């Protein structure tokens, strides 16, 4: 049997969360990531029979029964993952209509998955219905996107258009735009349900005064979505107080659609 640390998603997650911390997106124990694993790949690295222990999830997601997830732990600091992945990460299998998670590896110090686990799983269900290749959900606290929710209209069309106008690549990277939630109490099923509804129509969902959720086919794509939106928000925060003399026009964005074979969200461009 191959070493668990040779599992592609394991090495990529360790590298990604280390990079997220270095970017300043995940202060202290802020942020969480979950990755849907392929059973055929996983069984080459881990004995799948039995479980170390069972952890109640506090929600139902029957569509995820029998699915395996690599997930960050609650109260864990991303800066420590690279040094002790076995206590900071875990691999779980869902059962009982998603109400129970069987721990198969990790959380060696007795911990468990992130408090945002219900929100992650609800978002996985929503994105898998849209695109079966979406296997990653990522939550973090990028400073400029967070700051933008204090000073910008939270209307999703207006928020998206502002980000698109900040960087030429934005409409190419996230043509589906950005959805926005008002402030809600984190770690609850309510915010999980609201996020899952929003993530059906956009792979990025901003939590006002809190952070952002992203979904994608792999860790690189999901990280890149957030990274691009955060760069655009940084530019906006640098120029928002200044008179605007130039911008990327709708006509120019239509040229980008044609050049890169993407389609902007319906009704968002003139």
The C-alpha atoms of residue 127 and residue 202 are separated, in whole angstroms, by 9
DSSP structural state of residue 114: -
**Mean pLDDT of the 259-263 span:** 98
- Same domain? For 61 and 138 the reply is no
Domain interval for residue 109: 1-115
**Mean pLDDT of the 225-244 span:** 97
132: CB partners within 8 A, 6+ apart: none
Helix pair angle (117-130, 189-198), 10° resolution:
20
Number of structural domains (the chain) is 2
pLDDT digits (tens, 9 = 90+) for 119-150: 999 999 999 999 999 999 999 999 999 999 99
- Same domain? For 188 and 85 the reply is no
- Same domain? For 98 and 209 the reply is no
- Same domain? For 164 and 80 the reply is no
1, pLDDT greater than 90: no
- Same domain? For 270 and 137 the reply is yes
Q: Tell me the pLDDT band of 235, cut-offs 50, 70 and 90.
A: very high
- Same domain? For 269 and 142 the reply is yes
The C-alpha atoms of residue 208 and residue 148 are separated, in whole angstroms, by 9
- Same domain? For 12 and 44 the reply is yes
- Same domain? For 38 and 146 the reply is no
Query: Would residue 74 count as lying in a domain?
Result: yes
Provide φ and ψ at 204, rounded to 5°. -120, 130
Counting residues of the chain whose pLDDT is more than 90, the rounded percentage is: 98
Q: What is the pLDDT of residue 187?
A: 86
Contact 179, 123 (CB under 8 A): no
37, pLDDT greater than 90: yes
The catalytically annotated residue of 9, 102, 116, 156 is 116
221 classed as catalytic: no
Q: What is the pLDDT of residue 265?
A: 97
**Mean pLDDT of the 82-94 span:** 97
pLDDT digits (tens, 9 = 90+) for 158-185: 999 999 999 999 999 999 999 999 999 9
- Same domain? For 174 and 99 the reply is no
Provide φ and ψ at 158, rounded to 5°. -65, -40
Query: Would residue 235 count as lying in a domain?
Result: yes
The C-alpha atoms of residue 102 and residue 32 are separated, in whole angstroms, by 19
Cα-based distances in Å from 64 to 28, 68, 96, 236: 30, 8, 10, 39
């Amino acid at each position: 049997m191959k070493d668990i640390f040779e599992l592609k998603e394991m090495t990529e997650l360790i590298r990604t969360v280390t990079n997220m911390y270095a970017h300043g997106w995940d202060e202290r124990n802020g942020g969480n990531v979950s990755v849907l694993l392929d059973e055929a790949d996983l069984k080459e690295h881990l004995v799948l029979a039995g479980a170390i222990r069972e952890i109640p999830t506090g929600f139902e997601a029957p569509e995820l029964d029998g699915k395996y997830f690599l997930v960050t732990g609650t109260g864990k600091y991303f800066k420590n993952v690279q040094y002790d992945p076995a206590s900071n990460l875990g691999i779980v299998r869902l059962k009982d209509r998603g109400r129970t998670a069987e721990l198969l590896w990790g959380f060696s110090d007795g911990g468990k998955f992130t408090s945002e686990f219900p929100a992650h799983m609800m978002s996985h269900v929503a994105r898998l219905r849209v695109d079966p290749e979406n296997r990653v959900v990522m939550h973090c606290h990028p400073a400029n996107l967070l700051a933008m929710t204090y000073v910008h209209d939270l209307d999703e069309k207006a928020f998206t258009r502002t980000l698109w106008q900040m960087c030429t690549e934005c409409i190419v990277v996230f043509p589906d735009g950005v959805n926005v939630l008002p402030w809600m109490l984190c770690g609850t099923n309510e915010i999980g349900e609201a996020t899952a509804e929003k993530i059906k129509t956009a792979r990025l969902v901003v939590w006002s005064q809190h952070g952002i959720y992203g979904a994608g086919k792999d860790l690189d794509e999901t990280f890149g979505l957030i990274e691009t939106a955060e760069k655009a928000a940084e530019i906006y925060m640098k120029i928002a107080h200044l008179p605007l003399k130039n911008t990327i026009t709708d006509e120019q964005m239509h040229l980008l659609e044609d050049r890169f074979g993407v389609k902007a969200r319906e009704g968002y461009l003139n």
